[in-house]
Chains A and B, each alone.
Chain A
């Protein structure tokens, strides 16, 4: 079987060459394609059970056991899937008040989340409260612009993580919102907030150049956009970025009709997405890769 694959591939290659033009640079088979699926949530706020039928705003919406079955189906369809969360996992139902986030983390581990970033409400039981629940989380917390050096979280949170799915290197890094004025100082303690634009530039350079990532994702809890304000949101971060392919946002509980296409610093299109809150929606972004070397000539098509 292996041999036949090889022959077919060789045949395809030579056929391509005889068509002329592209020649030797197309030595890799043109027919090959890889698909990476990114699933994401944000601001779930301890909403484990679905809203009831009588809820005034979101009747019959959400529910983590339903999300689990949907994710199972998607993973069955494409095993090369990452599941990410953009923060504010905590606070919003008595599950959090009673169990301090234990149930949220255990369930996210059962759903096989790969990574999450930290939202402002994840400090609601203090940085110690977050640290105490970390043993229940079998996924990585990522934050590049919170410096936890002088806190209990030092060493527990990574700036970024590289995942390899079907040979594709996916770099994911986390970005958090300014805590001063939003979270009480005695909760976040000595956590230092660093400039999100500068840190994102550093991260994407490291992930692109040093780690050789094919896909770069920013998990952000900055908020979607602050018009008429200097405050940094995902749209501004996107415009000032160079190598980020997708920003998964949170904080502002923004329901978008579809992901937003943004032109980055060097004029390339990339995506910003956020899926509201409370586990009402699951974001799904599919990335298709091929071996055509003329990337700059052909570009990337975005369908939203």
Chain B
């Protein structure tokens, strides 16, 4: 009898031992491997990419326009030639879209200095140029803002003291960056009027601390990417020759 119990116990133990024979994690080794030119290029993969690469490169290198000079966002203090081009292109390309949808005209454009990602080099302007200036997918939106919010926008610009690209707005400040003169399309700002400001979806959502776009008097999403606006403009324009002008200047005695 007792021997039988021992046997049952023994079998139970063996059974449990075998039943619980799951695998246990004993050791983990972790590292990362750098991908560089010392590794072989897998030919089959490279061959697969090749037609895509050739197509993209051929497209990117197709010439759209010509630039008479090299333009950088670093050339200029409160407004730059490339920034002025950037803002003016947004106005010129989006206003017909906005007007056909709403019946209104865009009053001004504001985008950010940091959004210009590259220079425009003297010579041929290609599709690649547009991708270099604007690699992001940001789209143009038009925001209705009361005049009082426009004054906040102006405060932002005078405090930033940077050449954020603008169009339609003209701003003159004194030595201490106090506003001497501010006009939109040549008219002084009316605190009660609604102005239609074109910008991009990133800034509309508070990017670069531009908090003055919310709340607002309405939003129109154009579904028009900034890069596509540049591409369309370059396609229809033979020669690019932007200048630094007086749209945002400081008057010193």
A-side binding surface: helix, strand, loop or mixed?
mixed
Binds A, one of B24-32, B76-84, B102-110, B153-161: B24-32
B18 interface residue per 8 A CB criterion: yes
Tally of B interface residues using CB under 8 Å: 47
Binds A, one of B43-51, B185-193, B236-244: B43-51
A56 interface residue per 8 A CB criterion: no
B175 interface residue per 8 A CB criterion: no
| Complexed CA–CA distance, A275 and B33 (Å) | 9
Chain B residues near A98 (CB-CB < 8 A): 52, 55-56, 59
Binary B-proximity of A216-259 (CB < 8 A = 1, otherwise 0): 00000000000000000000000000000110000000001011
Contact B28 A28 (CB under 8 A): no
| Complexed CA–CA distance, A279 and B34 (Å) | 9
| Complexed CA–CA distance, A292 and B52 (Å) | 52
Q: How far is the CB of B53 from chain A (nearest CB, A)?
A: 7
Contact A284 B34 (CB under 8 A): no
| Complexed CA–CA distance, A271 and B252 (Å) | 60
Binary B-proximity of A261-296 (CB < 8 A = 1, otherwise 0): 000000000010101000111111111111111010
| Complexed CA–CA distance, A106 and B52 (Å) | 12
Contact B28 A301 (CB under 8 A): yes
Tally of A interface residues using CB under 8 Å: 73
A7 interface residue per 8 A CB criterion: no
Chain B residues near A245 (CB-CB < 8 A): 25, 28
Chain B residues near A33 (CB-CB < 8 A): 26
A60 interface residue per 8 A CB criterion: yes
B contact set with A: CB distance below 8 Å: 10, 13-14, 16-18, 20-37, 39-46, 48-49, 52-53, 55-56, 59-60, 128, 131, 135, 137, 201, 205, 221
A195 interface residue per 8 A CB criterion: no
A33-57 CB contacts (< 8 Å) to partner B: 33-34, 48-50
A67 interface residue per 8 A CB criterion: yes
A contact set with B: CB distance below 8 Å: 24-28, 33-34, 48-50, 60-70, 72, 91-92, 94-95, 97-99, 103, 106-107, 110-111, 124, 167-168, 181, 184, 186, 212, 214-215, 245-246, 256, 258-259, 271, 273, 275, 279-293, 295, 298, 300-304
A289: nearest chain-B partner, CB-CB: B23
Contact A300:B28 (CB < 8 A) given known A65-B45, A94-B60, A214-B23: yes
| Complexed CA–CA distance, A301 and B27 (Å) | 5
Contact B137 A124 (CB under 8 A): yes
Q: How far is the CB of A123 from chain B (nearest CB, A)?
A: 11
Contact A292 B24 (CB under 8 A): yes
| Complexed CA–CA distance, A168 and B24 (Å) | 10
| Complexed CA–CA distance, A79 and B169 (Å) | 64
Chain A residues near B16 (CB-CB < 8 A): 25
| Complexed CA–CA distance, A84 and B33 (Å) | 15
**Residue among A26, A69, A103 with most chain B CB within 10 A:** A69
Q: Which single member of A68, A281, A289 contacts B45 (CB below 8 Å)? A: A68
Chain B residues near A258 (CB-CB < 8 A): 30-32
Contact B26 A281 (CB under 8 A): no
Chain A residues near B201 (CB-CB < 8 A): 184
Contact A63:B14 (CB < 8 A) given known A95-B52, A214-B22, A293-B20: no
Q: How far is the CB of A298 from chain B (nearest CB, A)?
A: 7
Contact B25 A287 (CB under 8 A): yes
Contact B21 A27 (CB under 8 A): yes
Q: How far is the CB of A259 from chain B (nearest CB, A)?
A: 4
| Complexed CA–CA distance, A168 and B137 (Å) | 43
Contact A284 B33 (CB under 8 A): yes
Q: Which 9 A-B pairs have the closest CB atoms?
A: A68-B42, A259-B30, A289-B23, A65-B45, A288-B27, A66-B39, A69-B40, A69-B42, A65-B46
| Complexed CA–CA distance, A303 and B31 (Å) | 9
Q: Which single member of B17, B31, B39, B59 contacts A24 (CB below 8 Å)? A: B17
B10: nearest chain-A partner, CB-CB: A24
Chain A residues near B128 (CB-CB < 8 A): 94
Chain A residues near B30 (CB-CB < 8 A): 258-259, 271, 273, 283-286, 302-304
| Complexed CA–CA distance, A293 and B233 (Å) | 71
Q: How far is the CB of B213 from chain A (nearest CB, A)?
A: 14
* 8 intermolecular pairs with C-beta atoms under 8 Å apart: A33-B26, A65-B45, A65-B49, A67-B35, A91-B137, A282-B33, A283-B30, A298-B26
